[in-house]
Amino acid sequence: MSALRIAVAGASGRMGHMLIEAVRASSDLQLCGALDIPSSPAIGQDASAFLGAASGVSITSDLHAGLAHAQVLIDFTRPEGTLAHLAACRELGVKAVIGTTGLNDEQKAQIAEFAKHNAIVLAPNMSVGVNVVLKLLDVAARALKEGYDIEIIEAHHRHKVDAPSGTALKMGEVVAAAVGRDLKDCAVYAREGVTGERDPSSIGFATVRGGDIVGDHTVLFAGTGERVEIRHQATSRANFAQGSLRAARFLADRATGLFGMDAVLGLAS
């Protein structure tokens, strides 16, 4: 079986480097494209130069050139860039794994429209462990929906530009759905001053930004006389990269459709 041909967006960034290293280390995937913004100083360089090795793939800002030979694009960039990449993917028949966060409802709807033409995996967190945690949260929330206050605490590195994290929001959505609420109606994102007693139907969020924290997420169910905490701690971006490769393999024999990591991992109901 021939190797699945992969292109990586944001190729000179931290996540891009991790993805390129993971693709090159795999036996069934081949790096065939590397994309970055025109102002990147890495444009024109070999995509794996940071590894001290040559891949024969140059980093380019030309979407058509970067995607010309790809079967799947893996994209962890910014919402506007991701949508531009997906437009090129649709034109060229390239599938996509999207780990971009900070997408609004309109942008998510656009991605769903692209998925009618090319198969896409969209997830705010590609970690296998995080997606198992989402399943555990559904179970816990159904059992603890009465008499327990729900708070979500997340921490990330100083460079992260969106808050709360996409993963924290997804956790909130899963918990809210499990207890019969809409997160838009019950989420509390900030507390300051005299706030009054806590609304028992609310789901609170707390955000920490600092240092080089890869990603910590804790969902707290606080009851009377006990509390339950479900936590995921990422110590390396390698887990995001490996999950992304699993998602790319999942797309290999799918032509269209929008999928989550629950489908990739066989956790979907």
- Six-digit token string for 168: 């924290």
- The answer to whether residue 58 is domain-embedded is yes
Q: Over 90: is that where the pLDDT of 268 sits?
A: no
Q: Is there a single domain that holds both residue 242 and residue 228?
A: no
According to DSSP, the residues that pair with 120 across neighbouring strands are 96, 258
Q: Is there a single domain that holds both residue 77 and residue 168?
A: no
Q: Given 156, 170, 217, 232, which residue is catalytic? A: 156
Q: Tell me the pLDDT tens digit for each residue of 26-46.
A: 999 999 999 999 999 999 999
Q: Contact 142/179 with Cβ under 8 angstroms? A: yes
Q: Given 69, 117, 145, 160, which residue is catalytic? A: 160
Total count of domains within the chain: 2
Q: Is there a single domain that holds both residue 29 and residue 113?
A: yes
Q: Is there a single domain that holds both residue 141 and residue 245?
A: no
Query: Which CATH number does the domain housing residue 153 bear?
Result: 3.30.360.10
* The pLDDT of residue 105: 93
Q: Contact 211/157 with Cβ under 8 angstroms? A: yes
Q: Is there a single domain that holds both residue 13 and residue 98?
A: yes
Q: Is there a single domain that holds both residue 141 and residue 184?
A: yes
Q: Is there a single domain that holds both residue 71 and residue 82?
A: yes
- The answer to whether residue 259 is domain-embedded is yes
Rounded CA-CA distance 128/123 in Å is: 11
Q: Over 90: is that where the pLDDT of 118 sits?
A: yes
Q: Over 70: is that where the pLDDT of 269 sits?
A: no
DSSP category for residue 202: -
Q: Tell me the pLDDT tens digit for each residue of 4-24.
A: 999 999 999 999 999 999 999
Q: Over 70: is that where the pLDDT of 170 sits?
A: yes
- The answer to whether residue 269 is domain-embedded is no
DSSP category for residue 257: -
Does residue 221 sit in helix, strand or coil? strand
Query: Which CATH number does the domain housing residue 62 bear?
Result: 3.40.50.720
Q: Is there a single domain that holds both residue 114 and residue 242?
A: yes
Q: Is there a single domain that holds both residue 40 and residue 100?
A: yes
* The pLDDT of residue 237: 87
Q: Is there a single domain that holds both residue 63 and residue 138?
A: no
Q: Tell me the pLDDT tens digit for each residue of 44-77.
A: 999 999 999 999 999 999 999 999 999 999 999 9
Q: Contact 149/198 with Cβ under 8 angstroms? A: yes
Is residue 159 annotated as part of the catalytic site, yes or no? no
Task: Give the CA radius of gyration of the chain.
Answer: 20
Maximum distance among all Cα pairs of the chain, rounded to whole angstroms: 64
Is residue 108 annotated as part of the catalytic site, yes or no? no
Instruction: Give the structural domain span for 23.
Output: 4-122+237-264
Q: Contact 148/229 with Cβ under 8 angstroms? A: no
* Neighbour count for residue 81 (Cβ, 10 Å): 17
Q: What is 163-194 written as a DSSP string?
A: SS-HHHHHHHHHHHHHTT--HHHHEE----S-
- Say which residues have a Cβ less than 8 Å from residue 168's Cβ, sequence separation at least 6: 152, 154, 205, 207, 217
Q: Which amino acid is at 244?
A: S
Q: Is there a single domain that holds both residue 154 and residue 87?
A: no
- The answer to whether residue 49 is domain-embedded is yes
Q: What mean pLDDT comes out for the span 150-160? A: 97
